[in-house]
Amino acid sequence: NHTRISEFILVGFKSHPGSQVLLSVLFSTMYIVTVVGNICMILTIRMDPSLHTPMYFFLENLSTLDICYSSVIAPRAALAFLLGRRSISYSGCASQMFFFSLFGTTEAFFLAVMAYDRLTAICKPLLYQVIMSRRLCVLMVVGSYLSGCINCTIQTCFTFSLSCGRREINHFFCEVAAVIHTSCSNTFVNELVMLAVCGPIIVGTGLVVFISYGYIIITIIQMPSAEGRHKAFSTCSSHMVTICLFFGTVFFMYAQPGAASSPSKSNTISIFYTVVIPMLNPFIYTLRNREVKGALKKQLKR
């Protein structure tokens, strides 16, 4: 016999009502800051011709992605904490998983693409404009989204092909591993598919990032002038911070033994890479980048 589930119950962060209101305010505040901060970043890049370069083209797309990424999780979680309605429909859960996987995977590819962009700018400055043409930049962005789409389609289809199971999802959103654990079917194939698809994406994009920055650091060290080294490092420092935050939390979440078996730890780490990092990115790129700060001051004066 198979039970058709029409809705799930998200039971992550169950506590007394006062804490639920606090969580709702926290999620709402972080989401508003994320949207406002990333929109300001997009407008600043769009309105300043000096920022119409490949580096800022990718940064603009990253800001757009962060708004979408946070919008999949934060508003619904804030509303659920405030009203106490933790139910989510079957189709709503599938949609949330699909878009969460899409934007999360695309962000990993974006960070790898941005690392390659910095590698080209610092290691091959004379050929930078030739290599990083507008056409290549657009193809990289489209390719990142297509890769994310392939991954999220596979993950969502395999996960929601499982039969029956519990209604309670031990998370505050429909995360793939949390939904798989609600099934009473044999989940070995699903876990294998998740490992086979997500593993190469995380490891592959991580390797591109670390190899690129390995070459960048070697090139910076070999520069004869201190001013050149400082300028080269300043263009990479904000991206390095973002990379450390994103890949650090993803590896900690999925590569640490026993991480998935601790729901409270899993929920806490998930807040960081789904809500906190998209909120911090505009501040990291603004505070660590002279060109963005200069462009922002110029727009504010206008």
Residue with tokens 């890769």: 147
CB count, 10 Å around CB of 83? 10
The answer to the question of residue 12 being in a domain is yes
164/183 Cα distance (integer angstroms) = 6
pTM for the predicted model, two decimal places: 0.89
* Structural domain total, the chain: 1
Residue 158 tokens, joined: 């395999």
pLDDT at 261: 47
Report if residue 291 sits inside a domain: no
Domain membership flag for residue 43:
yes
- Whichever domain contains 148, its CATH number is 1.20.1070.10
- Residue 302 domain-assigned? no
Q: Which domain holds residue 158?
A: 7-283
Per-residue CA distances from 44 to 40, 54, 88, 138 (Å) = 6, 15, 37, 20
Location of structure tokens 């729901």: 263
Residue 241 within any structural domain of the chain: yes
pLDDT at 232: 78
Residue 293 included in any domain: no
Q: Is 176 contained in some domain?
A: yes
Per-residue pLDDT of the chain (302 residues; tens, 9 = 90+): 445 677 899 887 776 666 888 889 999 999 999 999 999 999 989 988 888 899 999 999 999 999 999 999 999 999 988 887 788 999 999 999 999 999 999 999 999 999 999 999 999 988 999 999 999 999 999 999 999 999 999 999 999 888 766 788 888 899 888 888 888 878 888 888 888 888 899 889 989 999 999 999 999 888 888 887 887 787 788 888 888 888 888 777 765 544 444 556 678 888 888 899 999 988 888 766 777 777 777 777 77
Residue 17 lies in a domain: yes
Buried b (16+ CB within 10 A) or exposed e, 58-73: bbbbbbebbbebbbbb
